[in-house]
Structure 1
Amino acid sequence: MANFHIVAGASEVPAHPVVRKITTADLKEALTKGFDDFWAMPSHLVFLGLIYPILGACLAALTFTNNALPLLFPLASGFALVGPFAGIGLYEISRRRELGLPVSWQDAFDVLKSPSIPSIIGLGVLLLAIFLIWLTTARLLYQSLFGYAAPTSYPEFIQQVLTTSEGMKLIVLGNALGFVFAVAVLSISVISFPLLLDRDVGVAVAVYTSIKAVAMNPVTMAIWGLIVAAALLIGSIPLFVGLAIVMPVLGHATWHLYRRVVEPPHPDDAHPAV
């Protein structure tokens, strides 16, 4: 029954959140409110102090050997695939500000008290699985073009990719595959995590509602995806330091985008304020 709850939610009858049509004006409002949350509550300190040292250590460990050099770009770009889960604490901060509740950075961890936490973790595991599949696909693509021999150094790897026909194929095919993975993750997660934080509807309803939101607003959601991709790219250029600002702003904005896309729940269906 617990596993069924994770998938289907607390209600015996599956919830059907109402999805709205949105425009680029809604995206602008979501980003504006995201910036407002960021400046009011400098959550970047948490990200700068915890997330990025961990990220840097992981990247350093994974690329310590030449064997892992081909995975450097897939690892950096693939972080966006798990970003929706990583931002769950930011959604909680925005939720509390919206309700007029006191807010501190510790409140990001109040998500652990959510009735939907099993569903949130379950969906996070799904995104992690997609991330690992992406890394495996990127590795297989590299091996299909360059063989199993690993580059001996960073300069050799860069020269391989930028000056050979196989490298050009790697760039084109790699970006095409990355686009497919990005669209899939955007579709299933763009509003899934905020919805689960707001209502205990279960993974199935959250994913269905997210896909429905993308299907009803294909152009607007495509623009949102481009905004996220561009912001993450710009934030990643200076050794990921810029992400300490980009990620919190996008996280807060995602909560407000959810509010624009999905009609508010009946008071009996919403999670209690904590």
Structure 2
Amino acid sequence: MAETLTTRGDPEPQSRTTSEAEPQIRTVGTADLTDSLRKGLDDFKLMPTYLVLLTLIYPAVGLIAARAAQGNDVVPLIFPLISGFALVGPLAAVGLYELSRRREAGLDTRWTHVFDVLKAKSISTIIGLGVILAVLFAAWLASAVAIQQWAMGAQSAGDIPTFLHNVVATSGGHMLIVVGNLVGLVFAVVTLAIAAFSFPLALDRDVSLPTAISTSVRALVANPGPMALWGLIVVGGLVLGAIPLFVGLAVVMPILGHATWHLYRHVVV
């Protein structure tokens, strides 16, 4: 059942679904992914100042984490920290979803509206999803440490050049690459299934945590090929953004965040 509600102090009404019935899922193709990216880029062009202000926190956290890793002689954790950003990315992008939602509805898109997320009818669902992603991130880091110790032992210690040499030139390093990437892939797929559309859905409608997660999982199952390609696009974009001292994330992340909102519109009826 759908009804028209005026929420969050918006100047005009919006249509929001309040029923707990499972949302319907569409099948999409590469054209929908391209369209979502194009619209995400359009959003970024129209709201660049707001988005850069919002996402400067993201590369700053990355720089601090990498510096802390070097200072504490845990250089092997730098890559897991960088790659782990993809696991918490959906949570960091909630404010971007809100700006895209407001622009789509013809509402004011000043950067302060990112905090309207706190007024969402499904804020408890959003918080629950955030906790799940935080647990996945911590589990990934713990797994990375365990794999490094198992594969390389004492060879995982040392500065960055030494560690990279050991990864490339030793059998333990080769094992680390293979097993680490396989385990990382599992975490990435689980995160994609749980969080790809659950955050936008929770922002858009009044839904419970189980409904948000199940809808995102069903969307992945219904669109395995396109969603796998989308996952590669997201990971590839985050890696490219992280290469220039993380500052590229201030551009890459908002584009991907906005694009995810538009892909949600393509996938969820």
TM-score relative to the length of structure 1: 0.88
- The change in CA–CA distance for 1:190 and 1:48 in structure 2 (over 3 A counts) is closer
> Which residue does the alignment assign to 1:269?
none
Partner of 2:56, secondary structure, is helix
Q: Deviations over 1:37-90 (max 9, x none)?
A: 000001432245333223312331233121x11111000001000001110000
* Count of residues paired in the alignment: 252
> Which residue does the alignment assign to 1:31?
37
> Which residue does the alignment assign to 2:6?
none
The amino acid of 2:41's aligned partner reads: F
The amino acid of 1:129's aligned partner reads: V
* Distance in 1 separating the partners of 2:135 and 2:237: 24
Is 1:207 equivalent to 2:217 in the alignment? no
Unpaired runs of 5+ residues, structure 2, are 1-16
* Distance in 2 separating the partners of 1:133 and 1:96: 35
The amino acid of 2:95's aligned partner reads: G
Greater shift, 236-245 or 192-201, is seen at: 236-245
* Distance in 2 separating the partners of 1:47 and 1:94: 14
> Which residue does the alignment assign to 1:238?
244
Is 1:218 equivalent to 2:224 in the alignment? yes
* Distance in 1 separating the partners of 2:64 and 2:25: 40
Is 1:187 equivalent to 2:178 in the alignment? no
- Let me know the Cα RMSD of the aligned residues: 1.6
The amino acid of 1:243's aligned partner reads: L
Following TM superposition, the consecutive aligned residue runs of length 4 or more in structure 1 with deviations greater than 4 angstroms are none
5 Å-filtered alignment, 1:1-274, equals: 14-42=20-48, 43-66=50-73, 68-147=74-153, 151-263=157-269
- The change in CA–CA distance for 1:196 and 1:146 in structure 2 (over 3 A counts) is same
User: Percent identity, aligned pairs only?
Assistant: 50
Unpaired runs of 5+ residues, structure 1, are 1-9, 264-274
TM-score relative to the length of structure 2: 0.90
> Which residue does the alignment assign to 2:11?
none
* Distance in 1 separating the partners of 2:154 and 2:241: 32
